[in-house]
Structure 1
Amino acid sequence: MESLYHHKKCPEGVKAKKFKLIVMDRYHKPFLPLTVFYKESLGRITESSAESYLKTLYTFFTWIHTNSNYQGRTVKWDDEPYIVRDAIEDFLMNEAHCKITTSDSKTYYNVQLTNKSPNTINRMLSALKSFYKTMIHVKLYQYPNPLIDAHAILEEHLTPKTGVREGKPRMPKEAGTEEPLHKRARRLTDSFFKVINGEWKPQIIDDPLLPFMIYKAGKDSKWKLRDEIITTMLFQTGARATEVIELTFGDYRARSDKGEFATFNKGSHGKRTKFLKVDNDTLKLLDRYIHHERKKVDKSKLKMNDIPDKTPIFLNQYGNAYTYDAFHKNWSSIMKKSEIKINIHKTRHWFVTRSIRMIREEYKDKTEQDKAIERLRIYMNWSPNADTMKIYEHHVDEKDYVAEQHDRLLENMKKEQEEYNKQLKPRKRAKQPSVEPINKIIQLPEKQHELMDIINNLNS
């Protein structure tokens, strides 16, 4: 289904008076609701997340315009909540191939994904819920949010908050003095449509040569030194792309170790709560970038020691802060030219999988393995009770592979890259390696085990 909506961004280097992005309808006229939604979202989520929400909304908005039907007429986005919900249910069943069942209380719907359902259903429902919340806030939608289960909110409100002390609020559960509240199996979220089998699992990328295939693809495409450094740091640190792209000079100065950078984490609202570690070769590349490629576009012309802490390390060709969207565009172009199908976030999956393999090889004692994996968890800044690490461990255990902690990982990556480069050197009367076997190396591991039918984007 071809989208009836698209957007245009304000050109880089031009200051937007009100909107950094304008959504256009099929007649190439501005579509205010989605344009306003994007603008309002930027205060809460990143530009890339806001744009991702927009794209999933395009699918639904196109569908209601072309295929929706309520009592013989097309549904409008600002119809009453029960009409909007009816359209969403119809979309989920007929367009997204989901199975819909009502709850025992018949106040909300369970959504079960099938093997024909796209992996964007959760995102689309979240985007719709956020969209209507925004429209209500800016007074463009006059009804309650169609994506909210009002009964869930009512139950939450009516739940007794009093404790054992008469007239006093309940003590926190950690105090151990209160009778625990009974858990209600029915309350998953306050969403009207609840996906019951779409929980996130990390995707495993398990080829030790993957980084070097990407590096070669970048060099073949004559990528900029800036993009080479960012890509290298992604593989060496396991960071999210924005955590690397938005590094500042202060992030480097904040750490005493010369190979480390302070950075923010998802949900930390810009506060530096974790660090990234790279090798000396990457630092040399970064030094070369700062004193040459970056210096050419830097408007301040300051010496490195005089640059303020909040100044971004990576700049675009106009001397402004480099963005995820710009990096993603360059990454996609390189992948397309080299015919490698892999998104940016797979670098994070690769890092964790390879790290756990190294731990399994280095430490034969289970207690030592657990300690090393705990250090990795702390480095990744994952919650102690998160199941994320267990899924990676299970994958590694299944194949009985091996290896070590961060410095050892970087050392092994260097050796593997040297071996990979040797293999690429042409021999007499020998053909250059074709693109096809490289692609097969990347794609086959994703089809070889049961974890490969999961979503492409890591949300944790």
Structure 2
Amino acid sequence: MQAYKILRTDGIYPFHVVDQDGLPHLELTLYACIAPKYHSSRTARAYVKEVVAFASWTASHPVVIRQNWQLLGAPEQVRALLAFFFTSEMKCVVALGKDRLGFETRRIEPTWETGRRLERLLAALRSFYGALRLCGRYHYENPMDADGARQRIEEERRRLVTAHIQTHGRGPMPPESGVDLVREVRFSAAYFRLRGDKWLPEVLDDPSLMNAVVTAGDQWGWSMREMGLVRVLFDTGCRLHEACHLTMADWFHSRFMKELVSINKGSHGRRTKRLFITDRTVKVLQRYVDEQRVLFDPYQRNLAAFAKLPTELLRDIPLFLTKRGTPLDPDHFRRDYWTPALSSSGLQLRCHQVRHWFVTMALNDVHKRSRSEEELQNSRGAIRELMAWKTDMLPTYDQAIRRHNLPELAHHIHVRMEQEHSTALARKKRQSARKGNALKTVSQQMLEEMLGL
């Protein structure tokens, strides 16, 4: 049982983090309430959950209690607490490290026993201590930063700027300008550094996956709403929360046809991504709006009624509704529709894996259709634009696909080796036979011919 839990309340403080006696933890409650000021709502919720879970572990672990390590203690205490957590709970290897600027760090190397990724926890704790310092509730330096790291980074940056001025007679231009063709040097003040935990997408290249999921949903009892939402995921490769946040204005962009606009990761509500769906998905969505959604709409509006409304009003009308007339929540869909439907058919698939499936299928398609290197690069660029990535993720997918194809590559190598081995044995036998025939006497050869050997 967790030592702390999060409660949603009304008033100035929308969240309370309370212990098992129902008493609030001041610093955790404060962070839960102010985190949305520094991060998006989804990121804030994820960070708060990470920090509260870590605080619960800290408050209940016997070794932590015996050592008197405090969540809000001095940086040395917090770092010792985290190092113990990584080694004992996460089964990681924690080793001494040194940054290129000279300050001391700790290198964290996950092992095969590490049950989950650690980037979010480290980012959440950095945000937690940084927010408390701004509010005056933590009176030390941020323990997630190495001692003296910020000062050394600033000194190094000043040194680089001074060297540039001495060489060119002016300060450096922004990297976006393209004037100074110098790679931007990235510095990190982090005390804990993850190693050997590079993220790779999951490769799913089964063309029948969409049909399997839709069949599982149909057998379980999905309505047109779930069918439409799932088809949007498979047609576009968008994230689940992006699909759930679609509004009627996003679809009216194409007059309720084959194109939608949506939010993107980090777009803060701005519609920066274009989604393209198939004719069949269009028909499913149109039927959903006219036959099912209309029953839960506050004004019983269908597509014809929405087409007459101004775009400003359509921006506040969600495409996917619950029976209460509220927007469909991603967690609600995942928990109450996606997981039970797929589990009943024996499918183990997360919603986000559909995105990896879409990119893998798109890459396979462009590599098959492209007739030249130029056409291939243009098609890959189109995929980047279609996915609206802020950074180029295609090299990461290429690496994942190569790893995924290693068993097939090994199989072809083994087949080739077996063929070469068989050919070599046959050649050796023929050579031995010819050599044996050459050593036979004339009388032996005549005798074999007479006996038909």
| TM-score, with length taken from structure 1 | 0.75
Structure label with greater radius of gyration = 2
Partner of 1:197: 196
Pair 1:140 & 2:147 matched: no
Partner of 1:164: 165
Q: 1:28 to 1:43 in 2, by over 3 A?
A: same
Pair 1:118 & 2:128 matched: no
Task: Describe the superposition over 1:308-341 as per-residue Cα deviations: whole angstroms up to 9, x where unpaired.
Answer: 1312212222222222222222223333444432
* Structure 2 counterpart SS, 1:276: strand
Contact 1:68 1:87 in 2 (8 A): no
* Structure 2 counterpart SS, 1:197: coil
Structure 1 or 2: more helix by fraction: 2
Pair 1:289 & 2:295 matched: no
Whichever residue aligns with residue 202 of structure 1, its letter is P
Partner of 2:446: none
The number of residues matched between the two structures is 392
* Aligned residue among 350, 358, 373 for 1:351: 358
Contact 1:7 1:21 in 2 (8 A): yes
Task: Describe the superposition over 1:405-445 as per-residue Cα deviations: whole angstroms up to 9, x where unpaired.
Answer: xxxxxxxxxxxxxxxxxxxxxxxxxxxxxxxxxxxxxxx99
Q: Within 5 Å, which residues of 2 pair with 1:13-52?
A: 16-18=10-12, 21-52=15-46
Aligned-pair CA distance for 1:88: 0.5
Contact 2:3 2:57 in 1 (8 A): no
Q: Within 5 Å, which residues of 2 pair with 1:12-91?
A: 16-18=10-12, 21-67=15-61, 69=63, 72-91=66-85
Instruction: Tell which deviates more after alignment, 298-307 or 90-99.
Output: 298-307
Instruction: Tell which deviates more after alignment, 341-350 or 289-298.
Output: 289-298
Contact 1:234 1:347 in 2 (8 A): yes
d(CA) in 2 for partners of 1:271, 1:29: 39
Aligned-pair CA distance for 1:214: 1.8
* Aligned residue among 358, 361, 365 for 2:368: 361
Q: Within 5 Å, which residues of 2 pair with 1:405-444?
A: none
d(CA) in 2 for partners of 1:28, 1:399: 49
Task: Describe the superposition over 1:72-100 as per-residue Cα deviations: whole angstroms up to 9, x where unpaired.
Answer: 44322211222111101111122212122
Task: Describe the superposition over 1:152-183 as per-residue Cα deviations: whole angstroms up to 9, x where unpaired.
Answer: 32123222244538996433356677695894
d(CA) in 1 for partners of 2:178, 2:212: 55
Q: 1:101 to 1:202 in 2, by over 3 A?
A: same
Task: Describe the superposition over 1:219-251 as per-residue Cα deviations: whole angstroms up to 9, x where unpaired.
Answer: 222223222211111011000111111011221
Task: Describe the superposition over 1:163-222 as per-residue Cα deviations: whole angstroms up to 9, x where unpaired.
Answer: 5389964333566776958947xx3x2222111222222121222222222222222222
Partner of 1:222: 221
Whichever residue aligns with residue 335 of structure 2, its letter is K
Partner of 2:389: 382
Partner of 2:106: 109
Q: Within 5 Å, which residues of 2 pair with 1:231-270?
A: 231-255=230-254, 258-270=257-269
d(CA) in 2 for partners of 1:358, 1:175: 35
d(CA) in 2 for partners of 1:226, 1:19: 35
Partner of 2:419: none
Aligned-pair CA distance for 1:68: 6.1
d(CA) in 1 for partners of 2:404, 2:125: 41
d(CA) in 2 for partners of 1:336, 1:116: 25
* Structure 1 counterpart SS, 2:262: strand
Contact 1:69 1:87 in 2 (8 A): no
Partner of 2:330: 324
* Structure 2 counterpart SS, 1:247: coil
Gaps of 5+ in 1: 11-15, 401-443, 449-460
CA RMSD of aligned residues (A): 3.2
Partner of 1:278: 277
d(CA) in 2 for partners of 1:84, 1:322: 40
* Structure 2 counterpart SS, 1:164: helix
Instruction: Tell which deviates more after alignment, 72-81 or 390-399.
Output: 390-399
Whichever residue aligns with residue 374 of structure 2, its letter is T
d(CA) in 2 for partners of 1:41, 1:355: 37
* Structure 2 counterpart SS, 1:377: helix
Contact 1:107 1:151 in 2 (8 A): no
Aligned-pair CA distance for 1:70: 6.5
Task: Describe the superposition over 1:316-368 as per-residue Cα deviations: whole angstroms up to 9, x where unpaired.
Answer: 22222222222222223333444432211001001011111122222343332
* Aligned residue among 86, 89, 106 for 1:92: 86
Pair 1:206 & 2:205 matched: yes
Whichever residue aligns with residue 348 of structure 1, its letter is R
Q: 1:209 to 1:54 in 2, by over 3 A?
A: farther
Contact 2:103 2:146 in 1 (8 A): no
- Taking only the aligned residue pairs, the percentage that are identical comes to 24
d(CA) in 2 for partners of 1:55, 1:174: 36
Q: Within 5 Å, which residues of 2 pair with 1:293-308?
A: 293-302=292-301, 303-305=305-307, 306=309, 308=313
Pair 1:314 & 2:320 matched: yes
* Structure 2 counterpart SS, 1:200: coil
* Structure 2 counterpart SS, 1:214: helix
Q: 1:71 to 1:32 in 2, by over 3 A?
A: closer
Partner of 1:392: 397
Contact 1:65 1:75 in 2 (8 A): no
Whichever residue aligns with residue 339 of structure 2, its letter is S
Higher relative contact order, chain-length normalized (CA < 8 Å, sep 6+): 1
d(CA) in 1 for partners of 2:218, 2:319: 22
Task: Describe the superposition over 1:260-319 as per-residue Cα deviations: whole angstroms up to 9, x where unpaired.
Answer: 001121122222222001112211221122223222222244521226131221222222
